[in-house]
Amino acid sequence: MEIDAAREVRTTCPYCGVGCGVLAKVAADGQVSVRGDPDHPANFGRLCSKGSALAETIDLDGRLLHPEIDGRRVRWDEALDRVASTFSQTIAEHGPDSVAFYVSGQLLTEDYYVANKLMKGFVGSANIDTNSRLCMASSVAGHRRAFGSDTVPGTYEDLELADLIVLVGSNLAWCHPVLYQRIAAAREKRPEMKIVLVDPRRTMTADIADMHLAIAPDGDVALFTGLLAYLGQHNALDRAYITEHTTGFDRALFAASNLDLAGVAEATGLSEDELGRFYSLFARTEKTVTVYSQGVNQSSSGTDKVNAIINCHLATGRIGKPGAGPFSVTGQPNAMGGREVGGMANMLAAHMEIENPAHRARVRRFWNAPSMAEQPGLKAVDMFKAVGDGRIKALWIMATNPVDSMPDADAVEAAIKACPFVVVSDVLASTDTVRHAHVRLPATAWGEKDGTVTNSERRISRQRAFLPAPGEARPDWWIVAEVARLMGFGEWFAHATPAEIFAEHAALSAYENDGARDFDIGAYAGIDAEEYDALAPFQWPEKDGQAARSPSTRFFANGNFYTPDGRARFIPIRPVAETRTDEKFPLILNTGRVRDHWHTMTRTGKSPRLSQHIAEPFVEIHPADAQHFGIGDADIVRISSPRGEVLVRALVTSRQRQGSLFAPMHWTDQFAAKGRLDALTASLTDPVSGQPALKHVAVRIEKFAAKAFGFAVMRQRPAPVAATYWAVAKCRGGWRVELAFADDDIDWAGFAAALFGASPDMLAYHDRDAGQHRIAAFDGERLAGALFVAPGPVAVSRGWAAEQLEETHAGQRERFRIVAGRAGAERPDAGATVCSCFSVGANQIAAAVAAGCTTVASIGETLKAGTNCGSCRAEIRAIIEARRVQAAE
C-alpha cells in the first residue's frame, strides 16, 4: 500500500476496552506519530501513557515475518496445507472435539467471526475459547442470568452524570486511565459527586475516592448481598420497578436477610461504621453507577459477585437511566466484539445461545453449515487440561500467550509442549508460547490490521491500516479463511475483504431477529467497501430501517429484558466463606496490571518510555508482613505456591492490605529470569462462568539470600543472563538489566564481557572487601555497557546510567564518571520516572516543589507531568506531600 504522508488515519487503540480513538500519521521519512482523536466519543482526544507511546511499539524488531514449519521457513501454501491437512486428518480419526482454537480479545471482530464460523459451523465443535475468558466471562454469565442476554446497560456518559460512582475491584487510574480522567474531570465540575473505591489495596485510584473500603479478598458477594438487605430494611427500594419489570425479588431478599451488619463486617473485614456509611450513601443517591472489573470477575465466585451488584441496581430501579446502572469495564480492546460473534465456547454468534435448539438451527440456516456444534465446547481452563491429557490433539492459538497468561501456567506449557500439533498465529517470532509451535504463521499487527472492535460501552469503531504489512504477514481472517478453503469449505469462506465479513456479521445479527435479541446491527448488512472504510464509531443496536440512534443508547430503563417473560431475574445469593491459606501458605496473592505495561509485554516491552516507571517484576507487601518474614524494601523475594515459584523485587508499602500480597502479571521468560506469575495461580474457576480465580491465591514468601546485586545498561539486548535473578527492560539507546546473584565468587570482568560483548576498551573499579564492582566498556566514543555490583541493592541512578548510552564519551573524565556511577553537578539526575507520557522523574518534581510548585496543577504547568493521561497525579501529589512534611520537620 502507498503511504500518504499528508493524511492522518483514524483508527482505534489496541489496548484496553475503553476503545480510544487514535489519529496516526506517517511522515515522509516513515516516522509514525499518534495523538488522541478529539472527535471519538470514547476519549475525546485523551490517551493514556500506553496509547501515547504506540508509535514506539511498531518496529519490526522480533517480528515473525514468514511462515515456518518446525523452525524452517516455508511458503504460505505449504504452511496452510500442513494446518488444513493435519486438522482434517485429526478430525477424521478422532472426531471434531479432538481439535480446538484458542483465540484472543486482540483479534478484530472480522477475525473472530471467521474463526468462530469455521469451528462451530463447519468443523462441528464448540472447542473455541478466548483469553477473554480470563477477564470478563463472569460478567457475561451474570448478565445472562439477570437480563437473559449479555447486555451492558449503560454508557460512558453515565460516569459523568452520576452523583455516586462505586468502583469495585478496579484500579481505574492505571487500568482504564481515560475513563478515570473522564470521572476526574466531571468531579472537578461537580465537586458534590462522590466516589467509593472497593479494593483490598489502596491503589492510585483511591486518590480521587471519598471512601476506600479495604475489603478482604473475595468479600464482594457479602458486601453487596448485605447492601440488598440494607436497602430492604431501610425502605430504599423502587417497588414499582421491581413489580413491573423483575421476578424473584422476594427470594433474593430472603437469601440476603440472613446476613446482618455484623456478619457482613466479619465476611468483608470492614467495620460496621464503614459499612453503614457506604450503605447509607448508596441508599440515598439515585444516580449511582457501579463500575466493576477484574477484582469482581477473576474469582471463583465472580458470577455471584456480578449478580449481587446487579440485584442492588434492579432493586432500586437504577439501571439504564442517565447516570445510573451496573457497568462492567472490559480488559481487552475487542473482548466485546468477541462476545458479539460468539467467540466463546458456550456462546453462538450474534448473542445467540448454543444450548438453544432454535438458535442453533437459525445459525445453521444462515451459514448453510454442514456440521453445526450441538453443545458447548471446552472453556479455557478445561481446554488446556484436555490438551494435557490428550483429548485435544491439534490446537491453534491466535494472538495470545497462554504459557504466561493461563493459570497453573507451568502445566499449560507442559500440555502445549506435549500436544501432537500446535499452530500459533502471532506477530512475534519469539514468545513463551510461539517457541512451542510446530507451525508459526505471521499475522499483521496494529497499524497493519483493518477491521472493527467494540468497546465496553457497545461502541463499534474501525481499526484502520496506516502501514503496509511487512514481509509475508497476513490478516488473521485471511489465514483462517484460507485454511477453511483447503479443508473443503471454500464456498462459505470466499471473503475478499474485511468489509464483506462485517456485512455478513451484521446480516446474521438481524437474521430472524424480531426484537428478541439485543445485538442487532442490521443497518450495516448491506455495507460496501467504501462505506466500511468511512464507518464512524457507533453504538449498537443499529437496526435496519431505523434512523440512527442518539450517541448514547441505554437498555432496561423501562424493562424489556431478553428473558422469556421480558422481566429481569433477581438471583438469590448466599455468601460462602472460603479459606485457602494454611500454615504452609499463609498469605493471599492478588494479581493484576501496572500502569504502563500491557498483558505479556509483547507490545509495551518495545517502548523505552513505558519500561522506565516500573522496569522489573515486584510484589507489594505490608510493612507488618515484611517485618514478620524478614523482608526489606528492594530485597529479592521468592513467592511460592503448590504449583510453582517466582523471584521478584519487594516493595514494602502500607497501601497493601496486611496478610495479602500484590504482584503484576506482565513479566515473561522474555523479560525476567523467573517472573511468570501465573505459574503460581490455580486452575480453580467460577462454576458458572469458567473464569479462573486469579486474585485469591494462597502463597508463601521468603527473602532470597542474594550474595550480590547488580544493575547494568548496554547497547545490545543481552543474551541469556548468567544470574539467579535478572529483569531486562528497554531504555533509550539500549537496554537496562536488574540482577541478583546467589553467589558472589564471580569473575565480574568476564561476566560484563559476556553481558554486553567483549571490548578492548574497558575501565573497572573493584573493592572486593566491600563487594563493590563497577565496569564500563566502550566502543569508540560510545558506551557499549556498564555494570554496577554491590552487596545490597545498587544505589546508582538508573535513568542517568541509561542516558549514557546515547552520549559520547571521548575523554577519560567522562568515562571515569560512569565508573563512579555519578552524574556531574551540571547534569542533575531526573530520578525515577513518575510521568511516562513526558518522561519526568521524581527528582525533577521534587525540585519544582522546592522552587514553589505546591499543587499538581502547578507541577503540570511547569513540567507537563500529569497533564496527559493523569495516571501519575497521585504519585505527584505524594511527592508534594512528602516535601511538605520534610519542610515542617
In angstroms, rounded to a whole number, what is the distance separating the alpha carbons of residues 776 and 712? 9
Q: What are phi and psi of 506, to 5 degrees?
A: -65, -40
Going across the sheet that includes 32-36, the strands are 8-12, 21-26, 32-36
Quote the CA–CA distance of 543 and 518 in Å, as a whole number: 10
pLDDT value, residue 3: 46
H or E stretch covering 289? strand 288-292
pTM for this one?
0.95
Q: Where are the beta strands (DSSP E) in 751-851?
A: 761-767, 772-779, 782-790, 833-835, 840-841
Q: Is 532 helix (H, G, I), strand (E, B) or coil?
A: helix
Report yes or no: 501 and 522 within 8 Å, Cβ to Cβ.
Answer: no
In 135-245, the DSSP E strands lie at 164-168, 194-198, 211-213
Residue with cell 492459538: 397
Residues 874, 207 contacting (CB under 8 angstroms): yes
Q: Is 412 helix (H, G, I), strand (E, B) or coil?
A: helix
Q: Which amino acid type is present at position 731? A: C
How many DSSP H helices and E strands does the chain contain?
Answer: 29, 34
Rounded distance between C-alpha atoms, residue 121 and residue 112, angstroms:
14
Contact partners, residue 330, CB within 8 Å, separation at least 6: 16, 17, 105, 132, 135, 136, 139, 336, 455, 456
CA atoms within 13 A on the CB side of 236: 18
Cell of 331: 480488559
Contact yes or no for 332/132 (Cβ under 8 A)? yes
10-residue mean pLDDT profile of the chain (889 residues): values are 66 97 94 97 96 96 97 98 98 98 97 98 98 96 98 97 98 96 96 97 95 97 98 97 98 95 96 98 98 96 98 98 96 93 96 96 97 97 98 98 98 98 97 98 98 98 97 98 98 97 98 94 96 97 73 87 97 90 97 94 94 94 98 96 98 96 97 97 97 97 96 92 96 96 93 84 92 94 95 91 91 86 68 87 87 88 87 86 69
Q: In whole angstroms, how far apart are CA 665 and each of 34, 404, 516, 867? A: 27, 8, 40, 28
DSSP 770-797: TTEEEEEEEETTEEEEEEEEESSS--S-
Burial class (CB in 10 A: 0-12, 13-18, 19+), 303: buried
Q: Let me know: does 187 contact 165? Beta carbons within 8 Å.
A: no
